[in-house]
Amino acid sequence: MVGTLFFAVISFLLLNKLFKSFGKIQRHDQRQMRSKKNTTMLVVNNNNDKKISTEFTEICKAFPEYQKIDFMEKMRNRFDSVFQAFVNARYEELKALLSSELYESFSEQISKRESSNLRQEILIKHIETIITKVMPSAKNLILNMKFNVSQMSALINSEGVSYNNPGKIFLDVSHFWVFQRKISKDSDWILIQTSIKN
C-alpha cells in the first residue's frame, strides 16, 4: 500500500514538472511567432478592445473615408516618410509632415550631422502599430499612436564606418507619436510630439 502511494506521488510530481516545462516551451514558441509577425493592431491588449474600438470610431466620425486597415497602413507609411525625409535631408517634405517646433528640432539634427560630414542610416521593420488615444475637439483631432519596431540606426562617416553602431545592430524600439489634424478634407496629419522607449 505504501509502495503504491509512493509511486503515485512520484508519478504526479513528474507529470506536473513535464506539464510546466511544456507550458514554458509553448509560451516561448508563441512569443517567437508574435515577434516575427508584421502585425496591424487596433488594440493595446485583450482587456482594452472596447476602449480602442471607441477611439477609432471617433476618427471615423471626423473622417468617414477611413477603413481600419487602410488607416493603420496610412499612419505606418507616414511614420516611414518622416524617417525617410530626415535621413535624406528633405527639408520641404519635413515641413509638410511636422509641426514648426518639431521641424526646427529635426532640421537642427540634420545640420549637426552634415557639419560633421556624417550621414544617417536607418532601417525599420514594423512589428506592431497601435492607436493609444484619440482626443477630438471642434476644430482638431489629436491622435496618440505607438509604433513598435525593430530598428537599426547608425551615423556613418566618410570612410563608411559607424562610430555609434559599428555592427549595425537592430533593437526593438517603441515610438510614441502624437499627431494632429484639422477637421477638414483638405488637411492631413501633422506630427506634433515624439518620444521613444527602448
CB burial of residue 84 (10 Å; 0-12, 13-18, 19+): middle
CA–CA separation, 135 vs 58, rounded Å? 8
Contact yes or no for 182/169 (Cβ under 8 A): no
Same domain, 72 and 134: yes
**Which residues 6+ apart lie within 8 Å of 171 measured at CB?**
150, 151, 152, 198
pLDDT (0 to 100) of residue 61: 80
Tell me the per-residue pLDDT of 76-124, one tens digit each, with 9 for 90 and over: 999 999 999 999 999 999 999 999 999 999 999 999 999 999 999 999 9
Strands across the sheet containing 119-136? 119-136, 140-156, 171-182, 190-197
Task: Select from 99, 192, 108, 100 the least CA-distant residue to 143.
Answer: 192
Q: Mean pLDDT across the stretch 145-153?
A: 95
pLDDT (0 to 100) of residue 39: 33
Query: With 50 as the cut, is the pLDDT of residue 169 above it?
Result: yes
Instruction: Tell me the whole-structure pTM to 2 decimals.
Output: 0.71
Task: Select from 75, 50, 49, 77 the least CA-distant residue to 63.
Answer: 75
Same domain, 62 and 30: no
Same domain, 150 and 128: yes
CA–CA separation, 67 vs 73, rounded Å? 10
Same domain, 167 and 77: yes
The number of domains in the chain is 2
Residue with cell 485583450: 46
Q: Mean pLDDT across the stretch 120-144?
A: 92
Any idea what the CATH number is for the domain that residue 82 is in? 3.10.450.240
Same domain, 87 and 133: yes
Tell me the per-residue pLDDT of 33-42, one tens digit each, with 9 for 90 and over: 333 333 333 3
Point out which residues pair with 155 in neighbouring strands: 120
Q: What is the domain extent for residue 20?
A: 1-36
Same domain, 14 and 88: no
